[in-house]
Chains A and B, each alone.
Chain A
Amino acid sequence: MSLLTTTQVTKRFGGIVAVNEVDLSVGSGQICGLIGPNGSGKTTLVNVITGIYKPTAGTVSFDGRPIHNRPPHEICALGVGRTFQNIRLLLTQSVFDNVRLGAHVHTRSNLWDVLLQTRKLRREEKEFADRIDDVLEFTGLIQYRDELAKNLPYGRQKVVEIARALMARPKLLLLDEPAAGLNSSEKGNLMTLLRKIRESGVSLLLIEHEMAMVEALSDHVFVLNYGRMISQGTFADIKKDLAVVEAYLGTGGSSHA
């Protein structure tokens, strides 16, 4: 069963068509790869799915519901989590608080509970604190719990983003180049973590340039070039697809030879 479906999604910025009639679907429990050369529209597509951009045309549905007209905070509440290509953490706040932000959609207390420090608020915060510790344990960040996010090494900051997204209990997690800038041991840890996340029942859409990782993790791979979906299938399939090879390496070169 398909969890996320985009149908003929197009996003235009003035004369530029960043995403052009893209059909994509991510099934429940799947890890799907989304690859393509720089500027092929991968991040734009993720921004359309998460509601940062409204699609110029086409529809996006998640869990059987259309979401392309909803604002980002509602899409997050429905169960779409994401991380960013350029880290967007609250750098001046602790790792704990950054992950706490992920629980925002599940918060039931209100302003009065905060001002009066009601039992309801304290009970809720206790529950969240326990769960944050679980998530930090799960992602291997527990020793950084009270550290400010800006003091963490780059690789760890990327994991904090994943932990923050997990805290919202997403059904689908969109990861925008999680391995970019990581060293090889960090990449290994990341792959283990992503597998663990999938086993916990979360589907993943993985944007990545690191082909070994896409190959090792993806059940299905989508390839974008100039905003169009030029190929899809298993990694073995798309590797053989001439259109994909051309997109990455160019055509034979006879015209310039």
Chain B
Amino acid sequence: MAKLAALLKHIGATQAIFLVLLLIPLLGVPSYQFYILERGLQNVLVVLSLVILLGYTGQLSLGQAGLVAVGAYTYGILCVNFGLSPWLGLIAAPLATGLVGLILGFPSFKLTGPFLVVNTIAFSEIVRILILNNEKLTGGPFGLNRIPTIFDGLKLYYFMLVVAFLAAIGTLRLSRSYIGLAFKAIREDEIAAESMGVHVRNFKLLAFIISAVLAGISGVFFANMSGYLNPDSFTFNESSTYLLMVVLGGMSNVGGGILSSFAVTSLPEALRFMVRSRMVVYSIILLLMVRYTKVLEIENFKRIIRRLWPTPPAADRDKGNV
């Protein structure tokens, strides 16, 4: 056990979480729980998209569900209506979403705080209403059926796991790089950022584009998991849940965001036995989690690990190395 703790300290929290995710299916998870796990994994990508946009760059978006919808429907429409191969759809959908993200980024030059939030909510609603009313293309309220998939079942899970892992590593690398630093400079003080030579507009757009691409990939995974798309899956409710996941994970914390995306995804399912009081209990738990902010932040877990298995004093460590 102490060895495991040492390993955890060494490989980093995010890698450790993915190691666990790699092993979980081997335990033989029942199909419903497995589906929840997949949903959690799909949400990880949206959480990462918000870690970059909100956590690093400080641009609050409550329209991520709209971007997920653009990704999912681009994939669905291309594959169903135009018979494109799912693999090409997988490439095309994030590109299209990235383009939408670019456009969504432009108002952020002038709008800040609540004004930008309203703008992203409006965007998301426009997407939903467009999907609802373009029945020929999107199936409207009846949804888009029989969407071909890239992989099914366990293969899909592992494919998603690889993509999510790469996205998480990429996000971490971004965070540690000069790009992440420029993002954070924009978040903390735009005047200081531009005075130090950061092209604030370009970096804001970059954050919006990366964020949109990740949300778009998440949309493609959503379409793959259910094989069916309906505008009801991309409401304001979803956007605020994504926001909740990021906030609980500690805003700019990759590992915490991933943990909280699984926690928040599975919580209402875990409470299903309560039938009628379920949503009340769910809300109360969320309130408590927000009250004791950032419970899912990785630092908290590291603190527990440190307390359980304290690092030996420096002298002993040196002896061990010799």
Contact = CB atoms under 8 A, between A and B. Distances in A.
Interface in B255-300: none
Contacts of A84: 191-192, 195
A89 B184 CA distance: 11
Nearest to A71: B194
B198 A73 contact: yes
A50 B192 CA distance: 11
Given A114-B173, A115-B170, A105 B181 contact: no
Contact of B194 (A72, A93, A100, A114): A72
A50 B194 CA distance: 10
Number of chain A interface residues as a range: 20 to 34
A104 B196 contact: yes
Contacts, number: 80
A88 B174 contact: no
B194 A73 contact: yes
A107 B198 CA distance: 11
B215 interface: no
Nearest to B188: A90
A102 interface: yes
B189 A111 contact: no
Interface string A55-79: 0000000000000000111001100
Given A76-B196, A92-B184, A93-B188, 13 more contacts: A72-B195, A73-B198, A76-B195, A77-B197, A84-B191, A90-B189, A93-B181, A93-B184, A100-B181, A101-B182, A107-B178, A165-B196, A168-B196
Interface of A: 50-52, 71-73, 76-77, 82, 84, 88-93, 97, 100-105, 107, 109, 111, 114-115, 117, 121, 164-165, 168
16 contacts: A71-B194, A73-B197, A73-B200, A76-B195, A77-B197, A84-B191, A84-B195, A91-B188, A93-B181, A103-B178, A104-B178, A104-B196, A109-B178, A111-B206, A117-B173, A121-B177
The 10 closest A-B pairs by CB, nearest first: A105-B197, A88-B192, A76-B197, A72-B194, A114-B177, A90-B188, A104-B197, A73-B197, A88-B189, A73-B199
